[in-house]
C-alpha cells in the first residue's frame, strides 16, 4: 500500500504487510545508493504488527519508480550472490575431491 499525495509523486510512504527488517533494511541500503533519493528510512510501528513502513523522498522522480528500481537492483544482487556462491562451492568441491584422490593413492 502506498501513502502519498496526488500532486507530488516525489515522496511517499510504502506500507508493506508481512515484511520486516530483513527486506526493509536491505532496501534502505539500496535506496541510499541511489543518487535520486534525498531521504529514505523505514520503521516498524509496533513489534507485534507484521508490517513495515518505508519512506522514500526523491529529488524529483516518482518515489514509486525509485523504490521499484531499488527492488530490482536488490533482486539483481541476489542473483549475482547465487551465481558467485554456486561457482565457489563447485570449485571448492572439485579441489576437495582431487585432494581426496591424492590421499587415496
Partner 1 sequence: MSKGSFTSALNMPDVPMGKLPDHLEVQRTRVVCKADAPIHTEGIQFSGAYAAVGVDNSNPLDKFKRDFKIDVIRLTKDEMEFDMIGIDAAIANAFRRILISEVPTMTIDKVFMVDNTSPIVDEVLAHRLGLIPLDADPRLFEYMSEHDVPNERNTIVYRLNVSCEKGSPRLTVKSDQLEWLPDGSKLHEVAPSYPGEQQKTYTSFSGSQLEVSRRALGVKHKDITIARLGPGQTIELEAHAVKGIGKVHAKWSPVATAWYRMLPEVILLKEIKGEEAKKLVKKCPVKVFDIEDLGNGEERAVVKSPRACTLCRECLRGESEEQIELRRVRDHFIFTIESASALPPEVLFKEAVEVLHEKCDRVISELS
Contact yes or no for 62/10 (Cβ under 8 A): yes
Across 36-49, b (16+ Cβ under 10 Å) vs e yields bbeebebeeeeeee
Least separation, in Å, of the C-beta of 105 and partner 1? 22
Helix (H) / strand (E) element for 68: namely: helix 63-104
Among 5, 7, 35, 103, binds partner 1 (CB under 8 A): 35
Site for partner 1 contains 86 (CB under 8 A): yes
**93 binds partner 1, rule: CB under 8 A:** yes
Counting every residue written for the chain, the total comes to 105
98 binds partner 1 (CB under 8 A): no
Closest CA to 13 of 47, 49, 76, 58: 58
75 makes contact with partner 1 (CB under 8 A): yes
Residue ranges in contact with partner 1 by CB under 8 A: 2, 14, 16, 19, 21-23, 25-26, 28-29, 32-35, 64, 67-68, 71-82, 84-89, 91-93, 96
Amino acid at each position: 500500500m502506498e501513502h502519498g499525495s496526488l500532486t507530488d509523486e516525489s515522496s511517499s510512504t510504502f506500507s508493506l504487510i508481512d515484511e520486516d527488517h530483513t527486506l526493509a533494511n536491505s532496501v534502505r541500503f539500496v535506496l541510499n545508493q541511489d543518487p535520486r533519493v534525498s531521504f529514505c528510512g523505514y520503521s516498524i510501528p509496533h513489534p507485534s504488527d507484521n508490517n513495515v513502513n518505508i519512506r522514500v523522498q526523491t529529488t524529483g522522480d516518482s518515489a514509486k519508480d525509485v523504490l521499484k528500481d531499488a527492488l530490482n537492483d536488490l533482486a539483481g544482487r541476489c542473483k549475482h550472490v547465487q551465481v558467485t556462491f554456486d561457482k565457489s562451492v563447485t570449485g571448492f568441491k572439485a579441489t576437495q575431491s582431487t585432494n581426496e584422490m591424492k590421499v587415496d593413492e
